[in-house]
Structure 1
């Protein structure tokens, strides 16, 4: 997953061959029983080696292996190049690469790093603090997220699995009661309540994602016990850090590079390698200047032949993995990667690497992607806070941590076993960690704020990013048979298989959710009774069950959202609704439409011609209201959202008018209203306010300061890190408005519940 502003990885990648089921992953041995059954049909010839462009010329001693007839890249054993010292490497990445940085051999044994140091180390961890001499691993805290959230919040979150179980049971009882009452009403009246059946079907459709998540959340009973560790000393493992970029602004990339070079890690034990897929001459010059000061700085740019697949970010990373063999000393024992805009904290490597060193089967460790340019209220739900603070820790407790695309450190041996980064997917990060789990490796999620990047600053960029993630997840799931069976997932546990199945299914579920949204204004305009019952007692039970389900759901949400923040969780719920049509359209185009009808695997692309960007978050250069509305409503297809909200509200008004015109007495009007449009918790209100998000964003986009104003920069070194304030999402007017809407719906549910005792 990539938080970079270049959300499709690079503009020139859009002309690439589209991805279909006939493409596969590169690098798996065809004689292995764990092969996939799909291959490349048009396999490119080995890429020519190009010289490095930072004053370091590549040695020609290593040539890429030939492709086998089956379509897989055959890893060539390099035993002749492996010195004796490699087998005794204290960090034991067991890579087939030769030991690198041979002028600084590691003295320590592997066993000396396994035991944790019991005495806590200093919390400062500045470069001046790092001890000289032998390395060790300090245990800073029993929990890696101890400083993120603590106190009473932990006690309440501990109740989440139990609250979730209770909420699920109550809701299933409520749905069962609804269906029972419809059947009873039909038997008593001798007519069909079609409107009631459609309404309950919509309720079930909208509830399915929550119910599936509830099943996953209940697994949080398994406590997560990952400690906060630090690697101390200077005898550290060697690491090749790749900074992948493709067309981002030079200053954005250079801020990431400078912060990476400023790691509190021995300079002779890590390299920073810019993998530039855009071949920017100005970026190359800037890296050359840095390399004059930092001997561990390199620039690489692969040759991309028009008409041949370049395989997006995965191809760029694999190119870097091949080329580091030509650097002095060969490849590193570990590989790390950063997106172009992700600024790492100074202790990043020392915080992530220990989790790989203490566990020989740990293939990959990844911290969360956090952001410093998220606007107040986060109107488009770009922050990922619910995923990184709630979902990922639960997955990590169940040994299903994902590689989320930036900030991760990976063991070279594990990469080589799966044939390096898999090709043919828009989500190479998720595919990589999934394949590693399928081979019996472990992955870890390090719940510390160790990197901060930027979210897309325009509406179109956000759509491209999120639809690319969804398509990549589904595409990977198809190729891995939804992690249910097959050689590629043979060694996965039940929880790992369930996770892979769940998140792919949730992306596909947007098809059903979008279809159900179309039905809401139709049934309201239809004017039929939405809640059927045979007698007044049944209506009472329906209202009471609905009240219990609504209140238990609110309580469950409050507990579940605590690590990320209540408002963040609510934003995520609204996001699933308004984003569903975009994801559904891309899934249909990617996996259902034939090529001659426009089918192709790609992220969302605007219709028509968009001559210039909207600059909607820059108060000085943003386009006027008319242009913003025209582009977002028509080019970005938010006209569907506008029409849905307009028609639904008109239908509610018409339905309400009918009740006042037909029903008699206060009680009759109230019962008519709640059974025809206002059934608690006023679902149409939540859906309308959620679907209105793109329109409200076009009307009143958030204003953001210049990126430089969000950073604190060292005037001498140029190293910049986000300010404390920019790392947090401010509470804004939109968050207050949605909370008001939630409060109104909850109060209405309570009032209806109370009033039901008086008729």
Structure 2
């Protein structure tokens, strides 16, 4: 990377670091970007005082006054084929209007420029790029306004680094087949259970209430797996998303917003520096820090950074008492309004980064082509990846299963979500839905849903283009995940689960189904929790949990249960290929032990009145959640007794511990009573089987999952200091995660959990074989 050079002193003096403030009267907006007027040194928003935020219930559909010319600009306005060279001299300040003329040769160093003026064209025609990009067809790009050769196709699939070769073939063709067989066996097994309970009641002329409760518990625990497996059937639908790159300096303008609210200054500055260091012409994008934390030291540092990066800006919005500021959505909306007063006005595209998300240098060049080749594409978003995930990820803080398995399937069906950071959006698309909807803690999901409902498309770009941080303590993790759950449910309620209404009228059946399923799964945590806590009560009652009329029915139940388990395990092996088998199993355990927290949060937020403990959770940025225990720092870690007390009492993990002991006591009592009441060996074995030891030992899997918070309190993982996870350029101070930090390290705990799965599998197989002899 060539050393960064300072901008011309005259340019720096003309564009001092300013803080955005408000005025009482609106300022006059230029008619178009083609007229560059000298701006005052203090920049004011074009609308004067801070505008009323958009509500999710009533989004602002009217367009900004006087911005029709800005919003209607396309790349065709930037083309220079018929413009003489003399017209390429831009006025002083702002973005240049025209791209450089063609005719120069391609050079990697020319794709980045710190000059505010045009440079010779850095791209060649697509025909000349063919030796570098073998997979790029000569007639791939049909849009007249996409210049020939300005976009290169590096590969026909954007997920090549995550899935290739035999793994792709297994995942694409074998996984859907195994999912279909697994689903069929699920329903066949539960159908037999219900049928045989009815037969047993008729045969013995007595009810089996606990058998009904137990089968309901099994179905409740299986429903999340069932829904995920059902959704995974659509893996077979091919996803057409090539790996593209925007080439040269003839590129659209972008405003990159970085939102922050109380995070550490060092964390924010690493993101700002990496954003300023993007492989993108410096005069074609701006980096705007939207600071809701109002940090003066942060503002001073950014003023100094403008000597090197004149395209970086610091903004803070005014907040007034008793006036809703709408958290992150309000912050982004303020930025979208304020940039109209910057030199050159608003850009054609906007992009957003969380304060802790460090973008890769090719971020904009990788995401923008997906919006340029389709004028109905309103938003494109890469996955959120992390560089400080601890060894073995005991709390399942990574989103690998969602971003590598679920989100590509959704993208194939046209339901890609905005995941909150790293996305690039068309400003005209956002203007149509009234910018970011307020009134929801999940403004990202709400935004992409409203875009789909308005007829726009969204894309998931499956490349590793950003890396952030996960909360470094147990409490921070709970606050983050419960906030996500509240936001998803709240958005679903306001949009009527995307089933009907004007806001979702352009959604397809797949888009409506996806939104409904994910909201339903969040709400289903309540029923899952009730079922889990009913399990020890059922076990301790010492009544048959599996009802049947004769031994033949019992043998058939065992055989179908074994077949179901075998195909379910095979399905897991293949379905978890993109994210990793261990990651997929961690996600399954996480759904169980996290269910009580999400259930309690949903009930307190949407059901209980305030006088009974109901409350609405306030937004708190992930990076601003501080650790009180420092449990992952071996030097500053709180003592074990304090960690156990805080996690078990303050964070209610004591209920998880009590549940585990309650289940173990129930299993022990049930087994003891079976031995006392049954006299023959066969009677004892069948009694154990139909009470506590019915395969695949669901109580054992639930207990091991519920024990995770306690083991985390006793033996938390060690994480190095954040600086040790970064590679920092000594000249520019720009930092990026190390290759090792981008991966989840292996830990012995994974072996213990896999040993548990192996034991339950072997036990089910043993019962299956024994059914032929007893």
* 2:129 aligned with 1:141: no
C-alpha spacing 1:59/1:628, structure 2 compared with 1 (3 Å) = closer
* 2:447 aligned with 1:454: no
Q: Compare CA radii of gyration and give the structure with the larger one.
A: 2
C-alpha spacing 1:143/1:46, structure 2 compared with 1 (3 Å) = farther
Alpha-carbon distance between aligned partners in 2 of 1:694 and 1:337, rounded to the nearest angstrom: 34
Q: CA deviation at 1:63?
A: 3.3
Matched residue, 1:357? 372
Secondary structure at the aligned position of 1:509 is classed as helix
Task: Note the 1:284-363 alignment, pairs <5 A.
Answer: 284-363=299-378
TM-score (norm 1): 0.86
Matched residue, 2:580? 565
TM-score (norm 2): 0.85
Alpha-carbon distance between aligned partners in 1 of 2:305 and 2:457, rounded to the nearest angstrom: 36
Is 256-265 or 81-90 further displaced after alignment?
81-90
Could you report, residue by residue, the CA deviation over 1:477-503 in whole angstroms, capped at 9, with x for unpaired residues?
A: 011100000000000000000011000
Alignment root-mean-square deviation, CA: 2.8
Alpha-carbon distance between aligned partners in 2 of 1:100 and 1:505, rounded to the nearest angstrom: 51
Task: Note the 1:160-309 alignment, pairs <5 A.
Answer: 160-309=175-324
Secondary structure at the aligned position of 1:701 is classed as coil
Matched residue, 2:664? 649
Is 385-394 or 588-597 further displaced after alignment?
588-597
Matched residue, 1:6? none
Give the unaligned 5+ runs of structure 1: 1-44, 92-98, 124-132
* 2:383 aligned with 1:368: yes
8 Å CA contact 1:90–1:107 kept in 2: the answer is no
Could you report, residue by residue, the CA deviation over 1:333-386 in whole angstroms, capped at 9, with x for unpaired residues?
A: 100000000011110110000000001000000000000000111010000100
Alpha-carbon distance between aligned partners in 2 of 1:544 and 1:571, rounded to the nearest angstrom: 28
Matched residue, 1:89? 77
Among 693, 711, 719, which residue is 2:708 paired with? 693
Q: CA deviation at 1:78?
A: 1.2
Matched residue, 2:98? 105
Secondary structure at the aligned position of 2:402 is classed as helix
C-alpha spacing 1:68/1:294, structure 2 compared with 1 (3 Å) = closer
C-alpha spacing 1:666/1:60, structure 2 compared with 1 (3 Å) = closer
Is 469-478 or 145-154 further displaced after alignment?
145-154
Matched residue, 1:40? none
Could you report, residue by residue, the CA deviation over 1:523-546 in whole angstroms, capped at 9, with x for unpaired residues?
A: 111111111111111111010010
Q: CA deviation at 1:736?
A: 1.2
Q: CA deviation at 1:666?
A: 3.1
Could you report, residue by residue, the CA deviation over 1:696-723 in whole angstroms, capped at 9, with x for unpaired residues?
A: 1111111101000111111111111111
Q: CA deviation at 1:600?
A: 2.5
Matched residue, 1:31? none
Secondary structure at the aligned position of 1:374 is classed as coil
Task: Note the 1:398-547 alignment, pairs <5 A.
Answer: 398-547=413-562
Give the unaligned 5+ runs of structure 2: 1-21, 28-39, 80-91, 103-122, 135-146
Alpha-carbon distance between aligned partners in 1 of 2:238 and 2:279, rounded to the nearest angstrom: 32
8 Å CA contact 2:53–2:326 kept in 1: the answer is no
Is 575-584 or 668-677 further displaced after alignment?
668-677
8 Å CA contact 2:54–2:437 kept in 1: the answer is no
* 2:164 aligned with 1:150: yes
C-alpha spacing 1:578/1:69, structure 2 compared with 1 (3 Å) = closer
Among 682, 692, 711, which residue is 1:677 paired with? 692
Matched residue, 1:13? none
Matched residue, 1:585? 600
Alpha-carbon distance between aligned partners in 2 of 1:390 and 1:523, rounded to the nearest angstrom: 36
8 Å CA contact 2:126–2:149 kept in 1: the answer is no
C-alpha spacing 1:66/1:567, structure 2 compared with 1 (3 Å) = closer
C-alpha spacing 1:391/1:82, structure 2 compared with 1 (3 Å) = closer
Could you report, residue by residue, the CA deviation over 1:559-588 in whole angstroms, capped at 9, with x for unpaired residues?
A: 111100001111111111111111111111
Alpha-carbon distance between aligned partners in 2 of 1:528 and 1:68, rounded to the nearest angstrom: 59
Alpha-carbon distance between aligned partners in 2 of 1:588 and 1:234, rounded to the nearest angstrom: 53
C-alpha spacing 1:85/1:478, structure 2 compared with 1 (3 Å) = closer
Matched residue, 2:393? 378
Corresponding residue pairs, total? 689
Secondary structure at the aligned position of 2:772 is classed as helix
Could you report, residue by residue, the CA deviation over 1:669-728 in whole angstroms, capped at 9, with x for unpaired residues?
A: 221111110111111000000111111111111110100011111111111111111110
Secondary structure at the aligned position of 1:452 is classed as strand
Alpha-carbon distance between aligned partners in 1 of 2:650 and 2:662, rounded to the nearest angstrom: 21
* 2:703 aligned with 1:718: no
8 Å CA contact 2:182–2:564 kept in 1: the answer is yes
C-alpha spacing 1:500/1:751, structure 2 compared with 1 (3 Å) = same
Q: CA deviation at 1:108?
A: 8.6
